[in-house]
């Protein structure tokens, strides 16, 4: 039996009438009950409450019956449509003929509608009438889906590739190509005469290849046979390094799928090759929806000093040197651990005055370094040598009995410039500023803060005779606090600050709230990327203001 909306409505109306009659009987009982049990002055309140309760009950009861009969109507219609020989089945097969002009079936109270006739099914095509170049595609076996390797677009391309591999790519003729152009309403005169017919190769798949966008300089290095290296540990963002530069690697997505077609010719090559004015059948070797984009970045060299400072060299007689269990690093080890190019790493090793001892890169312990420097400066004073002409051979002969000859030569290289005179003898020109800076660090490292005037006096007395100390020699090493009374100076080394830009500024503004450009420049100079200035960094990470007629910079965000 079929239920219609009209029948459901009549049933609901009958339920409503039954509910109303029951309500009236309940009202009579309610009045009797309230009159017999309650005080006359309180009966009216109970009557109102019972009225509200019964009305709400009737509304919920009626709504529940509506929902119930509509669900029965939907289930019955679905079962009737699925039963062979039913009205819905006969209508689907063309057997339902008794349709009223209004659209409803005869003997039904349902609303009128206008059914749309189904289009006739096309006659089956026999394989013998197919075009000679087409082949019937065999049905693909149904099985478990392969594991997802890409997004929706990538999975779709892989499915097309597998289908092309199994069914085989049809070789299109020129007539078929012209017919396709006509269907697409394209004018062949506006296109190149050569046509690429693409099909997926047997090994085509997503994720097998990666695209890398290279600038002309890097492309020339690869073509010349040199290699590019991707460096980084599991917890680091990968960088690409050439012989002398470092590039940050980021994935860039494309809106269109990129197809890898070996031997594909550009329009310029097709115009130059007149023999290519035919159909070119090419196979797709792979595809991708993104590529790696390179951007020049600063080498991440802070880790280099951190690794070497794990086990500083304290001299051949040190007990620590005999019992140390810390790792030591060769050049190959550093290349695999540091995210920088080879030339950048070797240059930084010179900057931090590292030396090779028994094949391993080591940094001298600061106390041992000052001991070696003191030997050299005392020898210069005793021999009255000019600072611009310190002979290497004489230093090795005089100091060779005190320290290893390699260490004496290394300290001369660290604090001087090596050159050869006309007679072929090796000399060193000592760097006055670097020697004064090292002695200042030795004085400041044992004090939290130093009275500025007292420090300048002691500092000048500690340097070799003939050298002059200046505060500008301490840029990036010490900071003068001019707001305190008396003025003080304290140790603040730039190599101890964070390497990240935002973290560096947060650390600096945590030490001092307001900075002048002269004071902050030595501590952010190394953050400047290629073609970037200190002013650009300050504009991005700091806010400027005027304090007593002097321009100062403070943080853009609160510092906790």
**439 in any annotated domain:** no
End-of-domain residue from the set 297, 319, 354: 297
Helix, strand, coil content of the chain in percent (nearest 5) = 45, 15, 40
Question: What is residue 267's predicted lDDT score, i.e. its pLDDT?
Answer: 81
Whether residue 196 sits in one domain with residue 69: no
Residue 311 DSSP symbol:
S
**Helices in 236-325 by DSSP H: which ranges?**
267-272, 302-308, 319-323
- What is the Cα–Cα distance from 406 to 357, expressed in whole angstroms? 9
Query: Which residue in this structure is represented by tokens 């695209």?
Result: 211
136 or 362, greater pLDDT: 362
User: Is residue 265 pLDDT above 90, yes or no?
Assistant: no
Count of the separate structural domains present in the chain: 3
User: Is residue 123 pLDDT above 80, yes or no?
Assistant: no
What is the per-residue pLDDT across 10-30, written as a single tens digit (0 to 9) for each? 544 554 454 544 445 544 444
**537 in any annotated domain:** no
Dmax (CA) for the chain in angstroms is 137
**482 in any annotated domain:** no
End-of-domain residue from the set 432, 461, 488: 432
What is the per-residue pLDDT across 410-445, written as a single tens digit (0 to 9) for each? 999 999 999 999 889 999 999 999 999 999 999 999
3-state secondary structure of 300: strand
339 or 258, greater pLDDT: 339
Question: What is residue 473's predicted lDDT score, i.e. its pLDDT?
Answer: 96
User: Is residue 370 pLDDT above 80, yes or no?
Assistant: yes
Whether residue 291 sits in one domain with residue 394: no
Question: What is residue 275's predicted lDDT score, i.e. its pLDDT?
Answer: 61
**121 in any annotated domain:** no
Question: What is residue 113's predicted lDDT score, i.e. its pLDDT?
Answer: 40
Percent of the chain surpassing pLDDT 70:
71
Beta bridge partner(s), residue 248:
239, 295
What is the per-residue pLDDT across 168-189, written as a single tens digit (0 to 9) for each? 445 788 888 889 889 999 998 8
User: Is residue 144 pLDDT above 50, yes or no?
Assistant: no
- What is the Cα–Cα distance from 330 to 391, expressed in whole angstroms? 31
Whether residue 276 sits in one domain with residue 160: yes
Percent of the chain surpassing pLDDT 90:
49
What is the per-residue pLDDT across 39-84, written as a single tens digit (0 to 9) for each? 444 444 555 676 777 777 778 777 776 666 655 555 444 434 444 4
Whether residue 288 sits in one domain with residue 168: yes
**462 in any annotated domain:** no
Task: Report the chain's mean pLDDT, rounded to a whole number.
Answer: 78
Whether residue 290 sits in one domain with residue 336: no
Whether residue 388 sits in one domain with residue 270: no
What is the per-residue pLDDT across 481-509, written as a single tens digit (0 to 9) for each? 988 889 999 999 999 999 999 999 999 99
Whether residue 281 sits in one domain with residue 208: yes
Mean pLDDT, residues 349-373: 95
253 or 104, greater pLDDT: 253
End-of-domain residue from the set 388, 404, 432: 432
In DSSP notation, 318-362 reads -HHHHH--S--B-HHHHHHHSBS-HHHHHHHHHHTT-EEETTEEE
- What is the Cα–Cα distance from 469 to 486, expressed in whole angstroms? 20
**Sheet of 542-547, strands arranged across:** 515-516, 550-555, 542-547
200-204, 231-235, 452-456, 473-477: range with lowest mean pLDDT = 200-204
Question: What is residue 244's predicted lDDT score, i.e. its pLDDT?
Answer: 93
489 or 162, greater pLDDT: 489
Whether residue 390 sits in one domain with residue 310: yes
Whether residue 317 sits in one domain with residue 260: no
Whether residue 235 sits in one domain with residue 260: yes
Length of the chain measured in residues = 560
Residue 245 DSSP symbol:
-
Q: In terms of DSSP bridges, do strands 478-481 and 426-430 run parallel, antiparallel, or are they unpaired?
A: unpaired
**357 in any annotated domain:** yes
User: Is residue 253 pLDDT above 50, yes or no?
Assistant: yes
User: Is residue 460 pLDDT above 90, yes or no?
Assistant: yes
Whether residue 318 sits in one domain with residue 250: no
Give yes or no for a contact between 248 and 293, defined as CB atoms under 8 angstroms apart.
Answer: no
Question: What is residue 68's predicted lDDT score, i.e. its pLDDT?
Answer: 64
**542 in any annotated domain:** no
Confidence of residue 557 (pLDDT cuts 50, 70, 90): confident
Confidence of residue 342 (pLDDT cuts 50, 70, 90): very high
Confidence of residue 264 (pLDDT cuts 50, 70, 90): confident
User: Is residue 114 pLDDT above 80, yes or no?
Assistant: no
Mean pLDDT, residues 257-280: 78
User: Is residue 139 pLDDT above 60, yes or no?
Assistant: no
**281 in any annotated domain:** yes
Domain housing 361: 302-432
55-64, 74-83, 343-352, 448-457: range with lowest mean pLDDT = 74-83
Mean pLDDT, residues 153-173: 51
Question: What is residue 49's predicted lDDT score, i.e. its pLDDT?
Answer: 73
Mean pLDDT, residues 144-152: 41
SS3 of 62-131: the string is HHHHHHHHHHHHHHHHHHHHHCCCCHHHHHHCCCCCCECCCCCECCCCCCCCCCCCCCCCCCCCCHHHCC
Question: What is residue 367's predicted lDDT score, i.e. its pLDDT?
Answer: 95
Question: What is residue 47's predicted lDDT score, i.e. its pLDDT?
Answer: 55
- What is the Cα–Cα distance from 29 to 44, expressed in whole angstroms? 14
Question: What is residue 166's predicted lDDT score, i.e. its pLDDT?
Answer: 44
- What is the Cα–Cα distance from 507 to 512, expressed in whole angstroms? 9
Whether residue 255 sits in one domain with residue 319: no
């Amino acid at each position: 039996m079929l239920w219609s909306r009209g029948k459901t409505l009549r049933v609901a109306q009958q339920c409503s009438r039954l509910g109303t009659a029951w309500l009236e009987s309940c009202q009579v009982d309610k009045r009797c009950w309230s009159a017999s049990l309650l005080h006359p002055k309180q009966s009216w309140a109970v009557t109102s409450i019972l009225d509200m309760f019964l009305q709400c009950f009737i509304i919920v009861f009626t709504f529940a019956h509506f929902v119930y009969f509509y669900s029965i109507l939907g289930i019955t219609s679905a079962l009737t449509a699925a039963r062979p020989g039913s009205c819905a089945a006969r209508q689907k097969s063309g057997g339902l003929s008794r349709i009223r002009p209004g659209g409803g079936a005869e003997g039904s109270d349902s609303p009128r509608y206008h059914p749309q006739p189904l289009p006739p099914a096309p006659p089956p095509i026999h394989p013998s009438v197919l075009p000679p170049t087409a082949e019937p595609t065999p049905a693909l076996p149904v099985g478990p889906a392969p594991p997802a390797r890409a997004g929706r677009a990538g999975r779709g391309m892989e499915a097309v590739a597998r289908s092309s591999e199994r069914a085989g790519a049809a070789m299109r003729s020129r007539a078929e190509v012209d017919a396709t152009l006509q269907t697409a309403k394209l004018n062949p005169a506006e296109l190149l005469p050569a046509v690429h017919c693409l099909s997926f190769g047997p090994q085509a798949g997503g994720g097998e290849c990666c695209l890398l966008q290279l600038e002309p300089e890097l492309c020339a290095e690869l073509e010349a046979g040199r290699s590019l290296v991707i460096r980084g540990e599991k917890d680091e963002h990968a960088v690409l390094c050439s012989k002398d530069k470092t590039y940050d690697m980021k994935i860039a997505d494309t809106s269109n799928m990129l197809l890898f077609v070996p031997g594909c010719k550009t329009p310029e090559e097709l115009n130059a090759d007149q023999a290519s004015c035919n159909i070119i059948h090419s196979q797709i070797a792979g595809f991708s929806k993104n590529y790696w984009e390179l951007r020049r970045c600063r080498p991440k060299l802070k880790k280099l000093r951190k690794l070497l400072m794990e086990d500083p060299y304290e001299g051949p007689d040190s007990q620590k040197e005999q019992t140390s269990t810390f790792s030591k690093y060769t050049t190959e080890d550093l290349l695999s651990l540091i995210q920088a190019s080879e030339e950048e790493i070797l240059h930084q090793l010179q900057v931090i005055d590292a030396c090779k001892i028994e094949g391993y890169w080591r940094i001298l312990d600061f106390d041992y370094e000052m001991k070696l420097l003191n030997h050299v400066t005392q020898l210069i004073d005793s021999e009255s040598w000019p600072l611009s002409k310190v002979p290497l051979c004489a230093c090795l002969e005089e100091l060779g009995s005190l320290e290893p000859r390699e260490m004496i030569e290394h300290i001369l290289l660290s604090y001087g410039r090596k050159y050869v005179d006309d007679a072929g003898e090796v000399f060193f020109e000592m760097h006055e500023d670097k020697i004064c800076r090292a002695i200042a660090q030795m004085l400041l490292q044992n004090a939290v803060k130093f009275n500025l005037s007292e420090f300048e006096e002691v500092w000048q007395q500690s340097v070799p005779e003939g050298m002059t100390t200046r505060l500008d020699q301490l840029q990036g090493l010490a900071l003068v606090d001019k707001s305190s009374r008396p003025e003080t100076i304290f140790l603040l080394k730039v190599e101890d600050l964070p390497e990240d830009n935002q973290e560096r500024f947060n650390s600096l503004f945590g030490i001092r709230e307001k900075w002048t450009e002269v004071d902050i420049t030595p501590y952010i100079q190394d953050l400047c990327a290629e073609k970037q200035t200190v002013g650009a960094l300050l504009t991005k990470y700091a806010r400027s203001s005027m304090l007593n007629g002097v321009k100062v910079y403070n943080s853009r965000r609160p510092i906790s």
